[in-house]
Amino acid sequence: MNRNEALSLLKEYVKDEKLVKHCIATAAIMHEIAEELGEDADRWEVIGILHDIDYEMVGGDMQKHGPTGYDILKKHGVSEEIAEVVKRHNHTLFGDYERPVEIALQAADSISGLIIACALVKGGKITEVTPKTVKKKFKEKCFAAGCDRDRIRMIEKLGFELPVFYEIAIRGLVRVKDELGLQ
């Protein structure tokens, strides 16, 4: 499955444009982390795009978030490996992540919103967001409060220091800025 196919499938199940953008953003960061680690960047990006595919379907029932995504993906012939990562990404059900792809997804999922919020403060200009901006906002607990700082910190398990991760994540988001409606 390539990026376009993943995006089409996502849009069959997710109608909220903001959530589609969240998936695109998370995926772009996954792509960059994979490249840094010498992993399969295209596959990691597809995982990022698909990770919240069941979000509207489960209607707030977090016990079903992840497992339902797994079922959707299997129904559409998506590989077990991708479907399994999507299933397990719900940290309220699973956790104790050891696999790099799973750790990366936790961090990418959480930091995407924080950096986009930084861009919105700067009038939507993602190109003006620097690691220093993110570092400052990371410390402000009320800023983008839904972005779990502990999940972002998981990236350290993969050998990235936070400022390096901020730079990598910003780079990913700049690459897809048009799709995100940012400048």
Q: How far is the CB of 14 from Fe ion (least distance, A)?
A: 11
Q: How many CB atoms lie within 10 A of CB 140?
A: 9
Q: How far is the CB of 132 from Fe ion (least distance, A)?
A: 25
Core vs surface per residue 147-178: b (16+ CB within 10 A) or e: bbeebbebbeeeebebeebbebbbebbbebbe
Residue 78 tokens read as 């998506």
Q: How far is the CB of 126 from Fe ion (least distance, A)?
A: 18
Per DSSP, the three-state class of 101 is helix
Nearer to Fe ion, 32 or 109 (CB): 109
């220093």: which residue's tokens? 132
Positions in 133-162 near Fe ion (CB under 5 A):
none
Which of 32, 45, 102, 109 lies at the binding interface for Fe ion (CB under 5 A)? 109
Which sign does the torsion angle of CA 132, 27, 58, 80 carry? negative
Region near Fe ion per CB under 5 A, out of 73-81, 92-100, 105-113, 137-145? 105-113
Q: How far is the CB of 48 from Fe ion (least distance, A)?
A: 9
Taking CB atoms, the residue at the shortest distance from Fe ion is 109
Task: For residue 52, state whether it binds Fe ion (rule: CB under 5 A).
Answer: yes
Q: How far is the CB of 89 from Fe ion (least distance, A)?
A: 7
Task: For residue 54, state whether it binds Fe ion (rule: CB under 5 A).
Answer: no
Contact 137, 143 (CB under 8 A): yes
Task: For residue 45, state whether it binds Fe ion (rule: CB under 5 A).
Answer: no
């596959």: which residue's tokens? 43
Q: Which residues bind Fe ion (CB under 5 A)?
A: 52, 109
